[in-house]
Amino acid sequence: VEPLPGPGRAERRRAAARGGRGKGRRGGPPAGASTASGTAQADPPAAPLSRVEARRAARAAKDSVGVVASRAVGELFITFGVVMLLFVTYQLWWTNVLAGQETDRAKEQIEDTWAKGEGEDDSKPGAFEPGEGFAIMYIPKLDVVVPVAEGISKPKVLDKGMAGHYGEGKLKTAMPSDKQGNFAVAGHRNTHGEPFRYINRLEPGDPIVVETQNAYYTYEMASILPQTSPSNVSVIDPVPKGSGFTEPGRYITLTTCTPEFTSTYRMIVWGRLVEERPRSQGKPKALGG
């Protein structure tokens, strides 16, 4: 029996070509098939999600209420922190800058008034209007030079960096030129120029000089009351209680808030007049005269 005729040469070539399409180079396994070590070379495409599964996945991808709330609270705290930082910067730094400008202008205005001979006689009762500058105070040990204005109004006097004379109503005290009495002044200890910040460092004998249009008044620090109630107005009496003074004289009282950065209590420093020197005779020794 004759064998069945085999395929022709052309057919054999086409069959060989079809069989080699799924192989890698040099007859390797088809793409996507496992190798001899069992490692897959490509993953099959994932099956598409059903509509229900897609909805569940979308809900899971959204932030929970707790996450959203915590994020909002965090942003709120950050904003609050920035605002507080700006407020502290304003209080501790910028108010001092503004007060420095105010006191420079006030000092120049006072000295200009004196130079023109237009100042009021400070020995006359009520000679100065509230907020009007009339003297300059020097505390050499603390390197303090601060204008003194009438009254203790915060917006008109103290917050402008000046020291304020207790000169109104029941708190009215003497002027430096008075032959007897207590010249009492208030000043900020912190912020707004803080002229009395370090008066706690004064010691008995340290000079405090007040310059007016007519004279220099030199006081010597005598005693200090580290803390007392704001309602204790006896500290500015003509003979201030707690000062150690026992008879009428010519005194000075400095008052300021304490502890620092609070207004809970008052710190008091007292001094006694030791020299009255006309301005025409030049500066006193305490100011290098």
Q: Which of the residues 165, 192, 250, 257 is marked catalytic?
A: 257
Identify the CATH number of the domain in which residue 231 sits.
2.40.260.10
Please give the model's pTM, rounded to 2 decimal places: 0.70
pLDDT tens digit sequence for 79-129: 777 766 666 565 566 777 887 899 999 999 999 999 988 777 776 666 789
pLDDT tens digit sequence for 242-275: 999 999 999 999 999 999 999 999 999 999 999 9
pLDDT of residue 74: 79
- Mean pLDDT of the 37-54 span: 61
152 band by pLDDT with thresholds 50, 70 and 90:
very high
Mean pLDDT of the chain: 83
Residue with the larger pLDDT of the pair 41 and 149: 149
| Range with lowest mean pLDDT among 37-51, 76-90, 213-227 | 37-51
| 13 has catalytic annotation | no
Q: Which of the residues 165, 192, 250, 266 is marked catalytic?
A: 266
Residue with the larger pLDDT of the pair 167 and 64: 167
Q: Which domain holds residue 174?
A: 93-287
Residue with the larger pLDDT of the pair 91 and 54: 54
Q: Does residue 28 belong to any structural domain of this protein?
A: no
Q: Which of the residues 165, 188, 250, 272 is marked catalytic?
A: 188
| 266 has catalytic annotation | yes
- 198: exposed, middle or buried (Cβ count in 10 Å: 0-12, 13-18, 19+): middle
pLDDT of residue 65: 72
Residue with the larger pLDDT of the pair 35 and 221: 221
Q: Does residue 151 belong to any structural domain of this protein?
A: yes
For 112-214, strand residue ranges (E) read 133-139, 144-150, 163-165, 181-186, 207-211
59 band by pLDDT with thresholds 50, 70 and 90:
low
> Based on the structure, what is the number of domains in the chain?
1
Question: What does the alpha-carbon distance between residue 181 and residue 242 come to, in Å, rounded to a whole number?
Answer: 16
Residue with the larger pLDDT of the pair 35 and 175: 175
| 257 has catalytic annotation | yes
End-to-end alpha carbon distance in the chain: 149
pLDDT of residue 88: 59
